[in-house]
Chains A and B, each alone.
Chain A
Amino acid sequence: MPPWTRECRSVRSVSACLRFLRAEPFAAVGGAIYATIVLVAIFADRLAPYPPKAILRVGARVARYLPMSSDHWLGTTSSGRDVLSQLIWGTRAALAVGLTAAVAVVAIGTVLGLLSGYLGGWVDRVITWFADIVLGLPFLPSMLVLASLTRPGTTVVIISVAGLLWPNTARVIRSQVLSLRERAWVEAARVTGCSTGRIMFVHVLPQVLPLAALYGSVAIGWAILAEASASFLGFGDPDMMSWGVMLQEAYANQALSRGAWNWFAPPGAALMAMVLAGFLISRGSEKLLFPKLADQ
């Protein structure tokens, strides 16, 4: 490493990043998929050849079920909308749902895991008991029931994902905190008169954040799949241009019997790529965060 890199932190971290990506090709592929999706989402309005909801016409007729062509790379839907444009706009919905839900899952799981692990006693008992109950709830059916009791839409999907997935994160964080709180530096902080809150959130929290981030990258995938399933079952937000809504429309409008592969194959492939990217990144970073595992 050239000596000047030692001075400049950002250059050093970038080169560390590159080394990591070379050592972990899975994570590199996952990162590349995410980067592509983020870029497409940012420039969706410029990349999409047509407005996603515009009903296109050929002459006087609505351009229904057009096959793939140079005008419409992925053809058109039953109502004459451009599939590629919908697919491109779908990246925004996927990122919005995935990131919001993942942040919520990680925030709830980390705080509750931290409280339960560090404080122990009745706090621990209540949180663990609550986590056990939530883990006993079937995921998709619970989401359907929640959606039907309130109003179907994206908010309910995000709330259910956050409300049903936090126990996994909380459990892992808790067990990590249980071991961290016995360490000498926590003891030292306590001796120097730090408040419990300060020890928890300033001293212990940063130690468990990488672990939390790992669970977050998987939660993004679950959230997106949950949104897609909810939309497919008719409990999503039909006005949102998401991949799940696209699949639902294709299924409901005989795309399968017409063999309109160009319509229903791409949104599912996009969903798969995005969830897969989360899996790949978490597998790769597992080795980085827990080098002991890699020896096996």
Chain B
Amino acid sequence: MSSLTFILFRLAPGDPTINFLSPSFNEETRAALMKSFGLDKPLWEQYFIYMGNLLQGNLGQSFLQGKPVAVLLADALPNTVLLTLVSLTAAYAFGIVAGAFLAFHRGGLVEAVSIPAALATRAAPEFWLGMLLLAALAFQTGWFPTGGALSPGREMNSFADRFMSGDFWWHLALPALTLMLYLQGLPLLLMRATMLEVLNDEFIVMAKMKGLSRWSVVMRHAARNALLPVVTAFALGLGASIGGNVVVETVFAWPGIGRVLVTAVQSADYPLAQGAFILIAASLVTMNTLADLAYAALDPRVSVGAKR
């Protein structure tokens, strides 16, 4: 966990003084503006103020939107988490089943076609997959909305209203499909590889010798053991996607954390950019730790205590 603290310390100070101000400001407005954000103090002082606030959970105010960073992030986070959860779950459900299937049909045409296809979806740029889907399914056929999270003019008062509305899920479909296409390759290849490995193990031979049915051997003996690395990858994927959604959220104008980060960086809104970055980095580190713990919990041969 030392890395998390380090990340916070390293990136929190940023460089808010130079980049944020546009050259068109005259010296006086500049000074006034600097003062109002506390930018006239020396950098080390700003740093300690920022760190002090951070420890109290205060991420500061957005330069441009004039709202607390925490509020803006809290608005965006559920959108990102939902998008990530929906697409990852779909991707892993598909990947696990398809990977197990492929492990049984080694060689031949199925493998020759599906392995390069799985690799190709991993090689394609996410945002390009999104653009193809957007052009085909939104612009040409009009089946799906072209961006955003709600239809224009629709306001949702409560949190629950928003996430229960069909409109929201209809907007979620395309970005989730894009991410799913991009993400399914890893669980598929991983499941296939570990399945092949497990099927050679002695206990599988033993199970076969006991005369158990093929279904029982595959599902109760092999698949359970092969799932281990996939579960870990899922936890890691959850952390990584929250940051990796940046481009997909931009393509679909999906109001999530990634998009907040991109627009904040583009408009040099440093407190907001820092807040979003810290949130993304923290979720990555948290999920990595959870993945380690999950691995140890599922596989008694690995012990967390022995590592340190």
Prevailing SS type, chain B contact patch: helix
Stretch from A42-50, A63-71, A197-205, A221-229 contacting the other chain: A221-229
Most buried by A among B119, B251, B277: B119
B 1-38 contacts with A by CB, 8 A: 2-4, 6-7, 11, 14-15, 19
In angstroms, Cα B132 to Cα A132, docked, is: 36
Query: Does B247 contact A232, Cβ atoms closer than 8 Å?
Result: yes
**Smallest Cβ distance from A170 to chain B, in angstroms?**
16
Query: Does B139 contact A257, Cβ atoms closer than 8 Å?
Result: yes
Query: Does A234 contact B266, Cβ atoms closer than 8 Å?
Result: yes
Query: Does A140 contact B119, Cβ atoms closer than 8 Å?
Result: no
Taken residue by residue from 115 to 141, chain B's Cβ proximity to chain A (1 for < 8 Å, 0 otherwise) reads as 010011011111111011011000110
Query: Does A276 contact B125, Cβ atoms closer than 8 Å?
Result: no
Q: Which residues of the other chain, B, contact A296 by a CB distance below 8 angstroms? A: 196-197, 200
Most buried by A among B6, B240, B246, B285: B246
In-complex Cβ contact of A247 among B127, B200, B261 (8 A): B127
Query: Does B247 contact A276, Cβ atoms closer than 8 Å?
Result: no
**Smallest Cβ distance from B147 to chain A, in angstroms?**
10
Asked if A84 CB lies within 8 Å of chain B CBs, one says no
Asked if B84 CB lies within 8 Å of chain A CBs, one says no
Contact of A272 with B125 at beta-carbon distance under 8 Å, contacts A140-B247, A251-B131 already known: yes
Q: Which residues of the other chain, A, contact B2 by a CB distance below 8 angstroms? A: 129
Query: Does A275 contact B123, Cβ atoms closer than 8 Å?
Result: yes
Query: Does B277 contact A145, Cβ atoms closer than 8 Å?
Result: yes
Query: Does A136 contact B135, Cβ atoms closer than 8 Å?
Result: no
Query: Does A276 contact B123, Cβ atoms closer than 8 Å?
Result: yes
Q: Which single residue of chain A is at the shortest CB-CB distance from B196?
A: A296
Q: Which single residue of chain A is at the shortest CB-CB distance from B118?
A: A279
Q: Which residues of the other chain, B, contact A133 by a CB distance below 8 angstroms? A: 3, 6-7
Asked if A256 CB lies within 8 Å of chain B CBs, one says yes
Asked if A141 CB lies within 8 Å of chain B CBs, one says yes
Asked if B256 CB lies within 8 Å of chain A CBs, one says no
Asked if B175 CB lies within 8 Å of chain A CBs, one says no
Q: Which single residue of chain A is at the shortest CB-CB distance from B1?
A: A136
Asked if A58 CB lies within 8 Å of chain B CBs, one says no
Q: Which single residue of chain B is at the shortest CB-CB distance from A232?
A: B127
In-complex Cβ contact of B123 among A137, A267, A279 (8 A): A279
In angstroms, Cα B6 to Cα A235, docked, is: 26
Q: Which single residue of chain A is at the shortest CB-CB distance from B276?
A: A141
Query: Does B125 contact A225, Cβ atoms closer than 8 Å?
Result: yes
Query: Does A272 contact B123, Cβ atoms closer than 8 Å?
Result: yes
In angstroms, Cα B123 to Cα A283, docked, is: 14
Prevailing SS type, chain A contact patch: helix
Query: Does B244 contact A264, Cβ atoms closer than 8 Å?
Result: no
A 36-93 contacts with B by CB, 8 A: none
In angstroms, Cα B247 to Cα A235, docked, is: 12
Query: Does A144 contact B261, Cβ atoms closer than 8 Å?
Result: yes
Asked if B98 CB lies within 8 Å of chain A CBs, one says no
In angstroms, Cα B221 to Cα A263, docked, is: 50
Q: Which residues of the other chain, A, contact B127 by a CB distance below 8 angstroms? A: 228-229, 232, 247, 251
Query: Does A268 contact B273, Cβ atoms closer than 8 Å?
Result: no
Asked if B85 CB lies within 8 Å of chain A CBs, one says no
In angstroms, Cα B196 to Cα A283, docked, is: 16
Contact of A140 with B243 at beta-carbon distance under 8 Å, contacts A149-B15, A259-B139 already known: yes
A 232-273 contacts with B by CB, 8 A: 232-235, 244, 247, 250-251, 255-257, 259, 261, 264-265, 267-268, 271-273
Asked if A280 CB lies within 8 Å of chain B CBs, one says yes
Q: Which residues of the other chain, B, contact A26 by a CB distance below 8 angstroms? A: 116
Q: Which residues of the other chain, B, contact A3 by a CB distance below 8 angstroms? A: none
In-complex Cβ contact of A233 among B19, B128, B244, B246 (8 A): B246
B 259-308 contacts with A by CB, 8 A: 261-262, 265-266, 268, 273, 276-277, 280-281, 284-285, 288
Taken residue by residue from 64 to 100, chain B's Cβ proximity to chain A (1 for < 8 Å, 0 otherwise) reads as 0000000000000000000000000000000000000
Contact of A145 with B11 at beta-carbon distance under 8 Å, contacts A139-B244, A256-B139, A268-B132 already known: yes
**Smallest Cβ distance from A2 to chain B, in angstroms?**
33
Contact of A148 with B19 at beta-carbon distance under 8 Å, contacts A247-B127, A276-B119 already known: yes
In angstroms, Cα B277 to Cα A99, docked, is: 29
**Smallest Cβ distance from B76 to chain A, in angstroms?**
14
Asked if B250 CB lies within 8 Å of chain A CBs, one says yes
Asked if A138 CB lies within 8 Å of chain B CBs, one says yes
Query: Does B250 contact A233, Cβ atoms closer than 8 Å?
Result: yes
**Smallest Cβ distance from B265 to chain A, in angstroms?**
4
In angstroms, Cα B246 to Cα A225, docked, is: 14
Interface residues, chain B, with chain A CB atoms under 8 Å away: 2-4, 6-7, 11, 14-15, 19, 116, 119-120, 122-129, 131-132, 134-135, 139-140, 146, 196-197, 200, 240, 242-244, 246-247, 250-251, 258, 261-262, 265-266, 268, 273, 276-277, 280-281, 284-285, 288
9 pairs across A/B with beta carbons < 8 Å? Answer: A136-B285, A136-B288, A138-B244, A147-B265, A149-B19, A228-B127, A247-B125, A271-B124, A296-B196
Interface residues, chain A, with chain B CB atoms under 8 Å away: 26, 29, 129, 132-133, 136-142, 144-145, 147-149, 221, 225, 228-229, 232-235, 244, 247, 250-251, 255-257, 259, 261, 264-265, 267-268, 271-273, 275-276, 278-280, 283, 296
| Extra contacts besides A26-B116, A264-B135 (20): CB < 8 Å | A136-B7, A136-B285, A138-B240, A138-B284, A140-B246, A141-B246, A141-B280, A144-B265, A148-B265, A149-B15, A229-B126, A233-B250, A235-B265, A250-B131, A256-B146, A259-B135, A265-B132, A268-B132, A276-B119, A296-B200
